[in-house]
Structure 1
Amino acid sequence: MNRHQLFLFSVLFSSLYWATSCVPVEQTTATSGTTSGKSEYSGSTGLRYEDFVYDPTIKSVQFYVQTGNAEEVFNAPVVPITQTDPVMLEFDQLNTPQQRFTVKFVYCNIDWAEARLTQIQFIDEFNEFYITDALSSYNTKVPYFHYRFQLPRVKLPGNYLVVVSDRSGNPIITRRMMVYENRVTVAARSVLPVGTEERATNQQIDFNILYPDYPVVNPSQEIKVVLRQNGRWDNAKTNLRPSFVHDTQKRLEYTLFNGTNSFPGLKEYRGFDDRNLRGRGFNVETVSLEANPVEIKLYPEKNRSRDVYSQDVDINGKIVYENRRFGSTNTGDPDYVLVNFSLAAPDPVPGDVYVFGQLSDWKLDPEYKLTYVPAAQQYAGKILLKQGYYNYSFALQAANQPQKANEVYFEGSHFQTRNNYDVLVYYRPPGTRTDLLIGYQWLETNGTRR
């Protein structure tokens, strides 16, 4: 039996097994998005050129650079053109038999619209790959299949939208990936913001771009920069222009005085740990093992906007999935747990309240929206999440800014907070049809995280 026959047999076998073993779990339907750009996916499929999950049975998506160390899942999907360390995609599908999924690349410009390139210009292989690494969950109340895929190499620096589709060709996951080739040098540093009102709350990133050995035409207009905090796209700074152009030194200086390269530092993130359901982990008040799925209640939270800065250790809003039942072997895979969140509020706040972070894809997702309970004077909600160690914050969605997550309202903001930043430098050479990623630098503010 060859590999293809073995894969089809496993799909048929799992269909029979899962038809009788699924535990129903209430799901929330994802909102369909608008189509941007023109591609084979446009139209009824509603492809979104951003990190997005289209299927409500898909959970716990991880997209990172595999480096072999314990913290690799925190790595943003940004790799050099050599791609020595591969990019990994992992996700779960709940309460379904094993499926056949495919992966494709869409090459994009700096604005994440599809570039006018043929596939042979950015990849040597046929641009469709099957995901064959799939494992059924073991010893879990909520059954799922866990899928893993190592992305193949590409040959052109720039932005890539990774599209995972089902057997009908409908997208189920999209993820952004960046490949850079350092043709310029980026020198970035964290400084105190210029404005006196922001000095205690914000973090400013100043940087220089040096291009002594790379031919650039009209650098002040044609070199474009994106500045991100903690790998996020929802609050990324785009269209940054240099404050000074040093032609003789072939250097662009970005020392801005209008706050365009300044971010609220926020606070170290809130967190909880439910990796060991036989005990009560960090910030877990109660555990109901008899419930199906298992249900936990976190300690009630409060508004921290007026609190002083506290140097707590966090993971910048990210997640580690793990089942850690101490003193036992063959504990099984991480299960899915119904997590109860609550936030004290004597009165309703001027907008909707959400649990926010990597767990919500850095979006104000309806599944993560909390409801005000007047009798308890709190916002509360239940969310189905995979066992692990989580960072999160609470965010306000103001009526006048429906797309913006206001974390400062509940969390406050401090210059001392430890955050990661990265600078992405793009350039479109004359006569070409796409934006190349020609420079990249990552830096951390306020010391090394341990």
Structure 2
Amino acid sequence: DWTPSALLKSQFLIGIDNQRIINYENSYSTLQPYSNYQLTIPNDNVRLKVSGNYVLEIYNNYYELQFSRRFIVYKDVVKVGGTVKRSRDFNYLDKKQTVQFSINSAGFPWVNPKKEVKVAIIQNYQWSTTINNIVPQYTLGNQLVYKYDKETSYFGGNEFLNFDTSDLRAPTAAISRIEFMDVYHHYLFTNTYRYNTPYTYFPDINGDFVIRTLQGENVSREAEYTMVHFTLPYTNRIGLEEVYVYGKFNNYALNDENKMVYNDKTGNIEASLLLKQGFYNFKYVLKAADGTIQNSTVGGDFHFTENNYLILVYYRNFGDLYDGIIGV
């Protein structure tokens, strides 16, 4: 659950963690100047000693937090096998998927797995979707078996929408027009609501994005930044709820930058984001007054939808101060 452990820094880290990022390249011949920074862990200054959940924080010269990213370090000790099935819950037959899995201990010496082993299930690498506090239903030889239905079920959502700005000047299927001002502006076709239409399969990359450009060879320093314009018709179905466009490209964050704003001239809600050239997946989501996220209001939920599911296996031995990860 990402609660900080009671470990001392010296117990999980070797070296110095507060270090300047010195590996960077400045952009070359781009309309929008930028610098591309790279950091590899472990490196000459720092190494990690134990497996588990980690948070990387990036600060500017004034020690102001710019952003943070979660990552995991794991030991490949146990094997995890899983399947995704249609939910057996009669109320959600057409909307939900159930993740069922087993953990093969391969002789791992746990004594009381219901106490020592924890699991986390994550949909499309979006940490806010995590399901945890699930104990094995039973053991079968060396296997811990989790064949829940409701407890490990997810709304299927719909396939992600996408656009491709790899070619600055040529509109692709999702782009209606391109304009050049201070930078290139890519206007996407107005998207439609899919909650009341039949499910249609089209391949996506489950919310991910890939930086690429046809105007250069080194995407780290030759890809341009373009202004991408998103449009969705306003309907009474939205009401006063806040609508956001998000994906892995912004770490599934909901903030003012990706919040959609009503345009009284067009009757649409709109958002504009400065994004590096590439292929992007995205979705429209609603944020209710109580803070909950509603994925289905615009896109709908279908049990057919293809999603990625990540299963993390945590182990805490008696007396340990942290949960290590022993399988994925």
Same-fold status (TM-score > 0.5):
yes
C-alpha distance in 1 between matches for 2:107 and 2:238: 54
Q: Distance in 2 between matches of 1:347 and 1:251?
A: 51
Which secondary structure does the structure 2 equivalent of 1:221 belong to? Answer: helix
Aligned-pair distance for 1:170?
3.2
Identify the match of residue 138 of structure 2 among 245, 256, 275.
Answer: 245
Which whole-Å CA distance do the structure 1 matches of 2:173 and 2:29 have between them? 23
- Gaps (5+ residues) in structure 1? 1-110, 441-450
Distance, in Å, in 2 between the alignment partners of 1:225 and 1:252 is 11
- Listed one character per residue, the Cα deviations across residues 153-175 of structure 1 (whole Å, up to 9, x for unaligned) are 52311111122233343332311
The answer to whether the aligner puts 1:339 opposite 2:220 as a matched pair is no
CA contact 2:95–2:301 (8 Å) conserved in 1: yes
Give the structure 2 partner of residue 151 of structure 1: 41
Matched, 1:349 2:242: no
Partner of 1:162 in structure 2? 56
Matches for 1:424-435 after TM superposition, within 5 Å: 424-435=312-323
Say if 2:219 is the partner of 1:219.
no
Matching residue's letter, 1:312: F
The match for 2:303 is 415
* 1:19-418 → structure 2 map (5 Å cutoff): 111-152=1-42, 153-211=47-105, 213-242=107-136, 244-246=137-139, 249-257=141-149, 259-289=150-180, 291-325=181-215, 333-347=222-236, 349-350=238-239, 351-400=241-290, 402=291, 404-418=292-306
1-structure distance, mates of 2:276, 2:267: 28
1:274–1:282 Cα contact (<8 Å) kept: no
Distance 2:279 2:173 in 1: 9
Whether contact under 8 Å (2:208, 2:247) holds in the other structure is yes
Q: Measure the CA separation in 2 of the matches of 1:130 and 1:380.
A: 38
One-letter amino acid of the counterpart of residue 125, structure 2: G
Work out the CA distance in 1 between the residues paired with 2:3 and 2:22: 29
**Is the 1:220–1:245 Cα contact (8 Å) retained in structure 2?**
no
Name the aligned partner's letter for residue 296 of structure 1.
H
Give the letter aligned to residue 266 of structure 1. Answer: G
Q: Which amino acid aligns with 2:189?
A: Y
RMSD: 2.2
Please, what TM-score do these two structures have when normalized by structure 1?
0.67
The CA distance in 2 between the partners of 1:238 and 1:154, in whole Å, is 25
TM-score with structure 2 setting the length? 0.90
Q: Provide the C-alpha distance between the structure 2 equivalents of 1:262 and 1:297, rounded to a whole number of angstroms.
A: 36
Q: Give the letter for the 2:153 counterpart.
A: S
Contact 2:138-2:146 within 8 A present in 1 as well: no
Shift of 1:276: 1.0
Q: Which amino acid aligns with 2:11?
A: Q
Pairwise CA distance, 1:138: 1.6
Cα distance in 1, alignment partners of residues 104 and 249 from structure 2: 37
Secondary structure of the corresponding residue to residue 150 of structure 1: coil
Cα distance in 1 for residues equivalent to 2:16 and 2:242: 45
**What letter corresponds to residue 277 of structure 2 in structure 1?**
Q
Q: Distance in 1 between matches of 2:80 and 2:28?
A: 47
What is the letter of the counterpart of residue 340 of structure 1?
H
| Deviation, structure 1 residue 191 | 1.8
| CA–CA distance in structure 2, aligned partners of residues 431 and 265 of structure 1 | 39
Higher relative contact order (CA 8 A, sep 6+): 2
Aligned to 1:64: none
Partner SS, residue 114 of structure 2: helix
- How much has 1:375 moved relative to structure 2? 4.1
Cα drift, residue 353 of structure 1: 0.8
Give the whole-Å Cα distance in 2 for the aligned partners of 1:345 and 1:162: 38
Query: Among the aligned pairs, what percent are the same residue?
Result: 29
- The 3-state SS of whatever aligns with 2:127 is coil
CA positional deviation for 1:151: 1.5
> For residues 217-238 of structure 1, what are the alpha-carbon distances to aligned partners after superposition, in whole Å with 9 as ceiling and x for unaligned?
4321331110011111011112
Counterpart-to-counterpart distance in 1, 2:7 and 2:217 = 52
Aligned-pair CA distance for 1:394 = 0.6
C-alpha displacement of 1:330: 9.3
* Shift, 1:113, TM fit: 2.4
Contact 1:142/1:336, CA 8 A, preserved across alignment: yes
